[in-house]
């Protein structure tokens, strides 16, 4: 058998009560109207009766809707019922409450019948309201209505048995009978509303008590004088006293004088401002423990809006604070060590650079001497040398020249990492055009297609970026030698998704498997007799770009050309805003 839901039972009770009340009203009102012989009075009273009936039924309908239980599918209601299952006092079984309503009402009927006074003088409402009230208080709406129904039927039966006809019952008795029904229904409804309100309050109280008792955070409430009105088990554990020992005491009885004074001053300030705030509090307990709490405190207001107390929720974070302090100290030590190691490494690098710089400079003098004396021998004693000796002498001069070029490359590489950067707006387009013009003047017979995008500007060291563009343009010029349709392009491009500058050509290109060798000094990917050089250009350019905080990348296809792109973080926006189209992408 399917048990009817609470909502279904309520609808059944409400409908049954309305039927009983409506029938009783119609019957009683008609009986009362029959006592009047005046037709005009009957018409007027009939209208008034209808208006009263509408008002009364509307009021009862409003009360019924106020207490109507939610549908079974209500997720919130089901959740609350699940959480509070077993937490509320068990209600008496339905059969017991209904049986009580019937028995106690029948007992009152029996008492009423056996009263040693005349029937017409026997009280009705006062006697039968007692079982109705008891039944409604014990079982709610259903038992109250049952008691009302039993009382009404019993009284009607006794009236018929005494008079032989219900219509012969005196009008004041009929009026009492009607009031008995109306009052019984009203008491039942009000009792159900009261029972539901009490149950809801009890559920909320128990849920709140469960949260307060179960949380590991300290929860407390104080009055305006700082006395504790509530303190959960966690608060008692932190303080080191029982909850009974805390209630009614202020902080001066629970903490050392200094901590208590600071706490009470802070609490007074919060109540004065009327605002909730979260902060950290450091406390020393009476047993000497130092604790740190993350506390949320706020005022408790009365109905007039005046602060009459303070609530607080405190989470003990002593271990976390100690861990944070340790991490902070470790970070400070690490930063100090990194700074020391960085300084040592910088000093070592500077020392190595100084040695390399000094060696390169000092090698120039003996190298010039070797080259000079070799030339003197060739000029003054050439007639004394045979062909083999002249070849040896030419090799000495050539080697000296190459050695001088290598020293110049080393010095250029060292210069790009020395000195300070002076950032300013640099016109890359102009630098590229100037270098291409210079190379054209050196080799007027070469035909090279030049494509330089206008207004390419970035922010950086002008001298160093001039070196970068010189090396990149020189490489493109060199590796397009022998191409009938040689083309060099300087355009906006993209590297790793960032706007930058690209120098592209359709020259010899290279194998990307060996791309990393391009950035190592004196490393070459082509034979010296094909493309002369010392392998220092891209290494120098990349060092300068890295020193600016940027990046340089190369991409190529053997026999089809190469593209070298770089970007500087400080100037991405100016390039990207100036040119929305990127011609090359590297990365």
pLDDT digits (tens, 9 = 90+) for 461-486: 888 888 888 888 888 888 888 788 88
Distance CA(59)–CA(47), nearest Å, equals: 19
Distance CA(464)–CA(458), nearest Å, equals: 12
Which of 316, 346, 376 is the C-terminal boundary of a domain? 316
**Domain total of the chain:** 4
| Same domain flag for 368 and 434 | no
Q: What is the mean pLDDT of the chain?
A: 75
The answer to the question of residue 30 being in a domain is yes
The answer to the question of residue 155 being in a domain is yes
The answer to the question of residue 28 being in a domain is yes
The answer to the question of residue 1 being in a domain is no
Confidence class for position 228, pLDDT limits 50, 70, 90: very high
Q: What is the pLDDT of residue 63?
A: 58
Residue 429 vs residues 302, 385, 433: alpha-carbon distances, Å: 76, 54, 6
CB-based contacts of 516: which residues, under 8 Å, 6+ apart? Answer: none
Which structural domain range is residue 373 located in?
Answer: 322-414
CA atoms within a 13 Å half-sphere pointing along the CA-CB vector of 184:
35
CATH number at residue 532: 3.30.565.10
Distance CA(240)–CA(256), nearest Å, equals: 13
| Same domain flag for 432 and 580 | yes
| Same domain flag for 93 and 134 | yes
| Same domain flag for 171 and 273 | no
Distance CA(35)–CA(172), nearest Å, equals: 11
pLDDT digits (tens, 9 = 90+) for 483-542: 888 888 999 888 877 888 899 988 877 777 666 666 665 555 555 556 565 566 777 888
pLDDT digits (tens, 9 = 90+) for 35-61: 544 555 555 555 555 555 656 665 665
CA atoms within a 13 Å half-sphere pointing along the CA-CB vector of 494:
12
pLDDT digits (tens, 9 = 90+) for 379-390: 777 677 777 777
| Same domain flag for 54 and 200 | yes
| Same domain flag for 435 and 408 | no
pLDDT digits (tens, 9 = 90+) for 353-395: 666 666 666 666 677 777 777 777 777 776 777 777 777 777 7
CATH number at residue 279: 3.30.450.20
Confidence class for position 297, pLDDT limits 50, 70, 90: very high
Which of 356, 387, 414 is the C-terminal boundary of a domain? 414
Coil, helix or strand at residue 398: helix
| Same domain flag for 147 and 23 | yes
Which of 212, 236, 260 is the C-terminal boundary of a domain? 212
| Same domain flag for 475 and 572 | yes
Task: Give the residue from 231, 228, 239, 229 showing the smallest Cα distance to 215.
Answer: 231
The answer to the question of residue 490 being in a domain is yes
Residue 553 token pair:
């990348």
Residue 337 token pair:
């060590």
Q: What is the pLDDT of residue 20?
A: 66
- Read off φ and ψ for residue 487, nearest 5 degrees: -135, 135
| Same domain flag for 446 and 539 | yes
The answer to the question of residue 292 being in a domain is yes
| Same domain flag for 52 and 98 | yes
The answer to the question of residue 401 being in a domain is yes
The answer to the question of residue 247 being in a domain is yes
3-state SS, 287-341, equals CCCEEEEEEEEEEEECCCCCEEEEEEEEEECHHHHHHHHHHHHHHHHHHHHHHHH
| Same domain flag for 56 and 186 | yes
227 burial (CB, 10 Å; 0-12 / 13-18 / 19+) is: middle
| Same domain flag for 194 and 312 | no
């Amino acid at each position: 058998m399917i048990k009817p839901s609470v909502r279904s039972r309520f609808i059944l009770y409400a409908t049954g009560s309305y039927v009983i009340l409506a029938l009783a009203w119609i019957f009683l009102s008609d009986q009362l109207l029959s006592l009047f012989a005046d037709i005009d009075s009957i018409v007027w009273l009939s209208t008034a009766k209808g208006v009263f009936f509408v008002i009364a039924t509307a009021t009862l309908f409003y009360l019924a809707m106020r207490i109507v239980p939610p549908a079974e599918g209500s997720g919130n209601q089901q959740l609350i019922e699940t959480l509070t299952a077993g937490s509320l006092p068990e209600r008496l079984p339905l059969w017991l409450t209904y049986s009580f309503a019937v028995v106690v009402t029948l007992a009152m009927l029996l008492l009423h019948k056996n009263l040693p006074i005349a029937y017409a003088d026997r009280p009705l409402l006062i006697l039968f309201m007692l079982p109705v009230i008891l039944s409604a208080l014990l079982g709610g709406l259903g038992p109250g209505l049952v008691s009302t129904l039993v009382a009404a039927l019993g009284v009607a039966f006794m009236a018929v048995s005494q008079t032989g006809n219900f219509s012969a019952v005196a009008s004041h008795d009929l009026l009492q009978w009607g009031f008995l029904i109306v009052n019984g229904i009203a008491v039942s409804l009000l009792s159900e509303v009261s029972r539901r309100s009490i149950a809801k309050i009890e559920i909320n109280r128990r849920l709140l008590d469960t949260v307060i008792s179960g949380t590991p955070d300290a929860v407390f409430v104080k009055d305006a004088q700082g006395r504790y009105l509530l303190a959960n088990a966690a608060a008692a554990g932190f303080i080191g006293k029982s909850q009974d020992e805390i209630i009614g005491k202020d902080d001066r009885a629970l903490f050392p004088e200094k901590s208590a004074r600071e706490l009470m001053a802070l609490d007074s300030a919060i109540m004065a401002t009327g605002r909730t705030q979260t902060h950290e509090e450091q406390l020393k307990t009476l047993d000497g423990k130092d604790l740190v709490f993350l506390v949320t405190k706020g005022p408790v207001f009365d109905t007039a809006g005046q602060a009459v107390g303070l609530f607080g929720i405190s989470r003990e974070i002593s271990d976390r604070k100690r861990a944070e302090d340790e991490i902070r100290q470790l970070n400070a030590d690490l930063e100090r060590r990194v700074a020391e190691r960085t300084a040592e490494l910088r000093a070592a690098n500077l020392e190595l650079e100084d040695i390399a710089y000094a060696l390169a400079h000092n090698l120039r003098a003996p190298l010039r001497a070797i080259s000079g004396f070799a030339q003197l021998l060739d000029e003054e004693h050439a007639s004394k040398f045979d062909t083999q000796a002249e070849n040896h002498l030419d090799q000495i001069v050539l080697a000296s020249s190459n050695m001088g070029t290598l020293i110049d490359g080393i010095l250029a590489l060292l210069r790009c990492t020395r000195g300070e950067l002076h950032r300013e707006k640099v016109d890359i387009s102009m630098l590229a055009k100037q270098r291409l013009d210079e190379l054209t003047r050196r080799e007027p017979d070469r035909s090279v297609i030049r494509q330089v995008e206008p207004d390419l500007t970035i922010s950086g060291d002008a001298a160093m970026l001039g070196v970068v563009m010189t090396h990149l343009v020189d490489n493109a010029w060199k590796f397009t030698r022998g191409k009938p349709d040689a083309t060099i392009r300087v355009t906006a491009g993209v590297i790793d998704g960032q706007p930058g500058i690209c120098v592209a050509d359709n020259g010899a290109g290279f194998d990307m498997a060996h791309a990393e060798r391009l950035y190592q000094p004196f490393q070459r990917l082509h034979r010296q007799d094909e493309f002369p050089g010392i392998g220092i250009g891209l290494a120098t350019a990349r060092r300068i770009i890295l020193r600016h905080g940027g990046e340089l990348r190369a991409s190529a296809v053997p026999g089809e050309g190469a593209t070298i792109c770089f970007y500087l973080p400080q100037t991405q926006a100016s390039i990207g805003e100036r040119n929305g189209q990127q011609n090359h992408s590297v990365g």
